[in-house]
């Protein structure tokens, strides 16, 4: 991949449009997890310090048009609190009102536009919306790695109309995943979890030939266990993927996959359900696997400790519920204790690392789950490709 243009390659003009990833969870009209807002701040601060009017755009959730539940007002409030500067929140995504606000703003002022997905042209990469957005800045900074795998108006279309560069956060993400794709130090271990194996088949196929070990837990492991002919009870299962998974397991690299040898199970999928530990061949019909067991957690921790490079995406169980958090906690602690290169990608994995207070102890904590997986599958992200046309 050719070098991406950066802020160091340009003179920062008076008006800059930043596509940030401020797609954060809300709870009762307040930001529930501000990780992505915190991650966006250094870029905004750098532009403010250079005297730019910083206009920020982002999507929030998946509204099908204007929806009061997905207005950017709580994000504006939290951005202002964290940054220590006032944020002017507009009720529009683009157009005359936005252009006037930008034109009248003072250097260093931060303007936050309304949710880009309130505009029907956003997800269609509509040229007219792209052009209207581009009029809000003399420079476009794409800093939303978590959205760079979407060819939308605010990620790709804008870059066709105005000088565009990658922001520091985007560049750090691309570098981290590029390192995993290139020639990472070995042994190279990948830990995969989360709910559905269908979400990870692409990355399994891409990475399995390159890794030394692939450790698989979470809900996705049950489809693999079923492919081995094991009883999985009422655990999460994708029957239509069993044959595809079986082919991977018996393939030339299938021996690299490490599956759980024990599980934490319950008789129902509820936080208050009583947990019990069973061997992999002791899972009874009607029971539900909700975490990897302690023996498996020990094995995974040992594999991580012996590695030079580790990538982790997806929790090992329902870590939000304390009785079923042990496997995810053990993996997170193993990543934190690791002296080598460690990357955690995916919203739930990152949330777990932060829940356990270990975010400062991994090499790279990614803001983008899907984008990182697509890079590891070998895809060129549309947002990244859009910037490459501006590379000198």
Known catalytic residues?
Answer: 36, 196, 347, 370
CB atoms within 10 A of CB 238: 19
> Given 3-state DSSP classes, what are the helix, strand and coil percentages for the chain, each rounded to the nearest 5?
40, 15, 40
Contacts (Cβ under 8 Å, ≥6 apart) of 132: 94, 95
Contacts (Cβ under 8 Å, ≥6 apart) of 193: 216, 217, 218, 219, 220, 221, 312, 313, 314, 315, 316, 317, 328, 331, 349
**Separation of alpha carbons 171 and 391, rounded Å:** 14
Contact (CB, 8 A) for 220 and 197: yes
Cα–Cα distances in angstroms (integers) from residue 363 to residues 158, 215, 358, in the given order: 32, 19, 11
**Separation of alpha carbons 307 and 312, rounded Å:** 12
Phi and psi based region of residue 28 (left: phi greater than 0; alpha: psi -120 to 50; beta: remaining): left
The answer to whether the peptide bond before residue 127 is cis (omega within 30 degrees of 0) is no
Backbone angles phi, psi at 354, to 5 degrees: -70, -35
Cα–Cα distances in angstroms (integers) from residue 180 to residues 186, 308, 310, 330, 343, in the given order: 11, 11, 9, 22, 9
**Separation of alpha carbons 220 and 224, rounded Å:** 7
**Separation of alpha carbons 213 and 18, rounded Å:** 39
């Amino acid at each position: 991949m050719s070098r991406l243009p950066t802020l160091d390659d340009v003179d920062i003009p008076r008006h800059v449009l930043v596509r940030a990833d401020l797609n954060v969870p809300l709870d009762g009209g307040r930001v529930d997890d501000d990780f992505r807002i915190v991650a966006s701040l250094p870029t905004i601060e750098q532009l403010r310090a250079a005297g730019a009017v910083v206009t920020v755009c982002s999507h929030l959730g998946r509204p099908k048009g204007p929806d009061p539940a997905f207005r950017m007002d709580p994000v504006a409030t939290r951005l202002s609190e964290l940054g220590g500067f006032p944020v002017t929140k507009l009720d529009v995504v683009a157009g005359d009102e936005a252009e006037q606000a930008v034109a009248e703003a003072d250097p260093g002022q931060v303007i936050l536009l309304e949710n880009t997905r309130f505009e029907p042209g956003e997800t269609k990469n509509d040229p007219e919306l792209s052009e209207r957005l581009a009029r809000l800045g003399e420079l476009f900074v794409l800093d939303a790695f978590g959205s760079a795998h979407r060819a939308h108006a605010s990620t790709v279309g804008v870059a066709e109309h105005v000088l565009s560069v990658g922001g520091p956060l985007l560049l750090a993400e691309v570098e981290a995943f590029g390192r995993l794709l290139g020639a990472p130090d070995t042994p190279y271990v990948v830990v995969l979890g989360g709910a559905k194996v269908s979400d990870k088949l692409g990355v399994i196929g891409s990475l399995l030939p390159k890794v030394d070990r692939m450790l698989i837990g979470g809900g996705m492991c049950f489809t693999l266990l079923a492919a081995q002919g094991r009883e999985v009870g009422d655990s999460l299962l994708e029957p239509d993927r069993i044959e595809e998974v079986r082919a991977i397991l018996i393939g030339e690299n299938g021996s690299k996959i490490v599956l759980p040898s024990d599980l934490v199970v319950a008789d129902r999928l509820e936080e208050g359900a009583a947990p019990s530990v069973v061997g992999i061949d002791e899972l009874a019909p009607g029971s539900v696997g909700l975490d990897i067991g302690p023996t498996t957690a020990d094995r995974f921790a040992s594999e991580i400790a012996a590695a030079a490079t580790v990538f982790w995406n997806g929790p090992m169980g329902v870590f939000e519920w304390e009785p079923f958090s042990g496997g995810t906690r053990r993996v997170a602690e193993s990543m934190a204790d690791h002296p080598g290169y460690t990357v955690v990608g995916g919203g739930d994995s990152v949330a777990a690392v932060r829940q356990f207070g270990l975010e400062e102890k991994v090499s790279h904590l990614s803001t983008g789950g899907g984008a990182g997986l697509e890079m590891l599958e070998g895809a060129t992200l549309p947002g990244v490709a859009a910037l490459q046309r501006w590379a000198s």
